[in-house]
């Protein structure tokens, strides 16, 4: 018996596809068989399985468990919840050696997929490709595993609350916070969490609904924060927090409705963390503002710029023993007093804690940040076979021009005006660009440099990539 995956499904950081078109129960079964076989060969025998609130998730969970048990691995079902709840199960259950979450993350409602942890490390890249090779060859062990269910949500919520240890309750009692779960899988845990927090809490869309009737669950797009902004303004709240569909990415606004982007949140977390762990190494991805790297250095920390992608960042954290990392996309990773995985609810708790320890409101912390002019992430279609080649061509041209280039992930160019970035997406047939300056005129010059480089490679920025 063997199985062939659709060519688009096995991706760099996870497995993802469109239900009924590129992804279905047979794929889930094959993923289970391959993962179980690899785990058994590595000496493991038990996997935790969770799923998000999408309509197709229970079906995929059923098929995945069939595959895992058919290859002789036992399964602990932790039920419907956020991806970090599954990560917590894998990290905290002593008899479990792997974890799989069924989730479409922030993709449209007709998508779904799988995020995986193997023997305490992210399972991505070559690991995921290996599942495809094994499926095509039918290279699976046979066996008879068993499945059991365990309730973990209460323990998970209590563990997150430890992020407020040592902070006097009276300093939190006056807080007024808005929370938007976006009808995603974090809703039930958010209800339990806020019920145990001091202060006043206003919750939006905690009812899990895989059709996402209120807005798309991606807090990195400002239009999806409209309901949160309205609530903060109407109730005169201190700040607002939002979560993506599977609860591993955070979005935030301050009391004035200003967005606090991923790299700006990391500036706050870094300031708090470096008081507790002076000189620590803090990682951010190549899309993050220069202001963040400067801020970490000015506070005596060691800033490290690394590749975009939650699996890549988590691996780098382990490698260099970093206590904190983050991405522009709202993935935040705390290894300091936590497990090192991306957990947006825990990141929310740490924002509350940081504000209290630093003695400044979230609005004040946001207001103290340097005013930079930057583009959002600009994406434009380029043929899959060309995207990496274009980045290499740009690198070669810049090398001969004497420009200051960081080639960690694509090309990031520092100029007197600011910086610009061009990189190939690992998950889509697009190039990603971003630029930042301290003035509109500077930003226009930087965008001109990007356009010139693209033109030299026979491309142009499409209409969707204007700033």
105 belongs to the catalytic site: yes
Q: Determine the Cα angle at 152 with ends 147 and 154, to 5°.
A: 160
Q: Tell me the C-alpha to C-alpha distance, in Å, between residue 206 and each of 190, 209, 367.
A: 7, 9, 29
d(CA 186, CA 50): 12
Query: Helix 344-358 vs helix 187-195: angle between axes, to the nearest 10 degrees?
Result: 30
User: What tokens appear for 466 in the block?
Assistant: 């204007």
**314, 319, 320, 323 alpha-carbon torsion, rounded to 10°:** 40
Q: Tell me the C-alpha to C-alpha distance, in Å, between residue 353 and each of 172, 258, 281.
A: 9, 20, 20
CB burial of residue 408 (10 Å; 0-12, 13-18, 19+): middle
User: What tokens appear for 354 in the block?
Assistant: 């940081």
Give the active site residue among 56, 57, 71, 105: 105
**Ranges assigned E (strand) in 249-351:** 250-254, 259-260, 281-285, 302-306, 324-326, 332-334
Yes or no: say if 435 and 447 are a contact pair by the CB < 8 Å rule.
Answer: yes
d(CA 27, CA 33): 10
Closest among 341, 339, 338 to 327, alpha carbons compared: 341
Catalytic residues, which ones?
105
């Amino acid at each position: 018996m063997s199985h062939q995956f659709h060519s688009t499904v096995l991706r760099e950081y996870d497995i993802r596809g469109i239900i009924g078109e590129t992804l279905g129960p047979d794929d889930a079964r094959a993923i289970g068989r391959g993962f179980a076989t690899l785990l058994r060969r590595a000496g493991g025998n038990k996997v935790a399985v969770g799923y998000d609130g999408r309509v197709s998730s229970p079906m995929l969970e059923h098929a995945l468990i069939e595959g895992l048990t058919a290859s002789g691995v036992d399964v602990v079902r932790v039920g419907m919840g956020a991806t970090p709840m599954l990560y917590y199960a894998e990290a905290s259950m002593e008899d479990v050696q792997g974890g799989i979450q069924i989730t479409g993350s922030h993709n449209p409602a007709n998508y779904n997929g799988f995020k995986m942890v193997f023997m305490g490390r992210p399972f991505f890249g070559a690991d995921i490709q290996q599942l495809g090779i094994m499926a095509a060859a039918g290279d699976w062990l046979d066996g008879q595993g068993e499945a059991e269910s365990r309730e973990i949500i209460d323990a998970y919520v209590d563990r997150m609350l430890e992020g407020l240890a040592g902070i006097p309750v009276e300093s939190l009692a006056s807080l007024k916070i808005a929370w938007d779960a976006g009808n995603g899988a974090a809703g039930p845990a958010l209800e339990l969490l806020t019920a145990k927090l001091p202060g006043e809490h206003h919750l939006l869309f905690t009812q899990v609904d895989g059709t996402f009737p209120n807005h798309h669950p991606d807090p990195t797009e400002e239009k999806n924060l409209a309901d949160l902004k309205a609530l903060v303004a109407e109730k005169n709240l201190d700040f607002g927090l939002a979560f993506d569909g599977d609860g591993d990415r955070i979005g935030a606004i301050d009391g004035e409705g200003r967005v606090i982007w991923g790299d700006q949140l990391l500036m706050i977390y870094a300031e708090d963390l470096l008081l507790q762990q002076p000189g620590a190494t803090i990682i951010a991805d190549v899309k993050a503002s220069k202001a963040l790297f400067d801020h970490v250095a000015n506070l005596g920390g060691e800033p490290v710029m690394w590749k975009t992608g939650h699996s890549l960042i988590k691996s780098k954290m382990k490698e260099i023993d970093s206590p904190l990392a983050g991405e522009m996309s709202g993935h935040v990773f705390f290894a300091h007093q936590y497990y090192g995985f991306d957990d947006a609810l825990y990141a929310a708790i740490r924002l509350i804690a940081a504000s209290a320890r630093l003695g400044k409101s979230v609005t004040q912390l946001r207001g103290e940040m340097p005013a930079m002019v930057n583009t959002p992430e600009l994406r434009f279609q380029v043929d899959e076979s060309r995207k990496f080649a274009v980045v290499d061509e740009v690198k070669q041209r810049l090398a001969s021009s004497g420009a200051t280039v960081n080639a960690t992930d694509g090309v990031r160019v520092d100029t007197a005006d600011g910086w610009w970035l061009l990189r190939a997406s690992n998950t889509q047939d697009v190039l990603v660009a971003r630029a930042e300056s301290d003035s509109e005129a500077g930003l226009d010059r930087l965008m001109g440099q990007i356009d010139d480089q693209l033109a030299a490679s026979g491309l142009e920025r499409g209409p969707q990539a204007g700033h």
